[in-house]
Amino acid sequence: MSKIPLKRVFKISLLVWTGIFVLFVVGAIRKLLPMKVFGIPLLAVLAAAFLLFLAAWILYFRHLMKCEEEGRSAFGLFLIGTVHRYRFLIEQLVSRDFKIKYKRSVLGIFWSFLNPLLMMLVQYVVFSHLLNIRGDVRHYAIYLLSGIVIWNGFNDCSTQAMRSITGNATLITKVYVPKYIYPVTKVCSAFINTLLSMIPLLLVTAVYGLFSDPHLFLNETVLLLPFGLFFLLIFNIGMGFLLSSLMVFFHDVEFLWGVFSTIWMYATPIIYSLSMFESRAGWLVTLMQFNPLYHYISFFRTVILDGASPAFAEYGICALCSALMFTLGFIVFKKTQDRFVLYL
Amino acid sequence: MPQENTDNNLMIRVKDVSMRFRMEEDRSGSLKETVTKFLSRRLTFRDFYALHDVSFDVYRGDVLGIVGRNGAGKSTILKIISGILKPTAGTVTRRGSIVPMLELGSGFDFDLSGRENIFLNGAILGYEKQFLYDRYQEILDFSELHAFIDMPLRNYSSGMVMRLAFSIATVVEPEILIVDEILAVGDENFQKKSYAKMTELMGGGTTVLFVSHDMNQIRRMCNRVIWLENGTVRMEGTTDEVCPKYLI
């Protein structure tokens, strides 16, 4: 086992934090500028908070380095150590899944672009022209496409991750590898697809925007998309933990999930818009607040269709959903993982 | 060569390990069955101890043979030591890197090429990236699969798959090697080669745990032997002490 390059991790982490801060500030600049807290510009408060955070981070890393020198254990060290130790395996498993997915298809990776586009096209024709569900939604094609991309991202990840433990049964009973690696790598490899399908979404938006009335332009808020994607990723990993561990004990979960995810899909405003129900069924709008997918999809739509940063409360809600899902999944997984091998 | 049995040289300590399997009487695999059974309180278990209070120490350089009849718990103890199974009771303390050779080629993906599988399987066995890049040629040479290495594994013959698996598994010099009756694979020529490689690995100062039914192998390679019977240690000692008793 090679030594943990703590210094390098530290440098990278500083870069990442700064990157996150810059992305947020630049992306939400129009919302941030006029805001004030107790008379002080919000921007200044944020900058100060960020500097404080960085200082705390540096202190924490000093503590970790000291711990490492003295051979003491610390949670942070343990975490960095495991990721460092298994990073090669994680890399290999993710690239395997990704290679396998399109290995024998002619168009290969282009399916990641084509698939959501074709889905959007079909649904656009059906719901916009044949059934006329679009209501008063502006830019319905983009509205639909963003919903499809995010929903597919969630559905792909959770379905793949669900089978990650049972699918690797031969490995788990033969070699010791921390088991959480399997669902996490599955979610990651499926998530790469989601990232790829963001490309046609942005492209279509850019092209469509030129011909639409009123014009629709992508602007600096695009920089906020990584936040939405990150929340979604964490949510997916949590869901993957939960489903994969349940799946070991009850294979029925696979079929139940098929039904349940379909219900969930129709309960999420992908093809319809909530504004249709505001007058008829207000309770539905209230209920929708408890659907995490609604919040994620809204996040993306606000950024792409309105060209504005979501309300700051919306960040909080998305982060909270992700954190709750992750914690729930992680606890279930941790409690049951020692018994996996007995049931595989 | 085995060295002095001091705490400094302790590689594995198995202490009071028990492994209990709960066997549900006609085991249910579905949610409905479990729930209905649970509700009607018909979910009964039969306990089966695969291991019961097993303790032993393994020191640096030991080549420990584990013998016993089928179902004595040999594979279970190997799985517990490799960390795959968690014992119901007792503890296992290990030091150093472990390479388990419980089954060759687990984790191969048959849609990937031989080359890609070397890296995938190597990563699963816990090798470092740099190490694999350095030893890639060595693995390839040993497997003698130069002409086929970029073909997907599904086109390999089963002998070729085993040759590749063996070459990957034995390229390391782990501190602890766990072997479950796999010494020779492939055709006669390759069998000789792999046998020589195993002997070299086991004689090279590595600590080895070795399960086999071949008493000649045990005699030749091991310096200590543990005899398991019905999940307990029937006898433990040097090869000369245990082997004659076991045969009777």
Q: What is the per-residue pLDDT across B27-36, written as a single tens digit (0 to 9) for each?
A: 556 667 767 7
Tokens encoding B98: 């472990």
A256, A208: one domain: yes
Residue B23: half-sphere exposure toward Cβ, Cα within 13 Å: 7
Cis status, amide bond into A214, omega within 30 of 0: yes
A75, A161: one domain: no
A263, A339: one domain: yes
What pLDDT digit, counting tens, does each position of A183-212 carry? Answer: 999 999 999 988 988 888 888 888 888 887
Q: Give which of A60, A73, A234 is closest to A158, Cα–Cα.
A: A234
- Nearest 5°: CA angle at A254, between A251 and A258? 155
A140, A70: one domain: no
What pLDDT digit, counting tens, does each position of B32-72 carry? Answer: 776 776 666 665 667 788 888 899 999 888 889 998 888 88
Is B17 part of the contact surface with chain A (CB cutoff 8 Å)? no
Q: ipTM for the complex?
A: 0.80
A201, A268: one domain: yes
Tokens encoding B148: 């086929």
Q: What integer pLDDT is reported at residue B241 of this predicted model?
A: 86
Tell me which chain B residue has its CA closest to the CA of residue A94: B120
CB burial string B34-70: b at 16+ within 10 A, e below: beebeeeeeeeeeeeebbbebebbbbbbbbbbbbbee
- Nearest 5°: CA angle at A194, between A154 and A333? 40
A224, A143: one domain: yes
d(CA A168, CA A178): 12
Is residue A159 one of the residues assigned to a domain?
A: yes
Question: Looking at domain B7-97+210-247, does it have CATH number 3.40.50.300?
Answer: yes
Tokens encoding A269: 């405003």
The amino acid sitting at A278 is: E
Tokens encoding B161: 């798959």
Percentage of chain B exceeding pLDDT 90: 9
A228, A139: one domain: yes
User: In this complex, how many residue pairs, one in chain A and one in chain B, have their CB atoms less than 8 Å apart?
Assistant: 74
Instruction: Identify the helix (H) or strand (E) that includes residue B238.
Output: strand B232-238
Q: Which B residues 85-104 touch A at CB under 8 Å?
A: 85-86, 97-98, 100, 102-103
A192, A296: one domain: yes
What is the number of domains present in chain A?
A: 2
- Structural domain boundaries enclosing A145: 105-343
Domain-by-domain residue ranges, chain B?
Answer: 7-97+210-247
Q: Which of A96, A256, A341 sits opposite B84 (nearest CB)?
A: A341
A51, A178: one domain: no
Cβ contact A165:A183 at 8 Å: yes
Choosing from A87, A114, A149, the residue where a domain stops is A87
Interface test with A, best of B21, B31, B95 (most A CBs within 10 A): B31
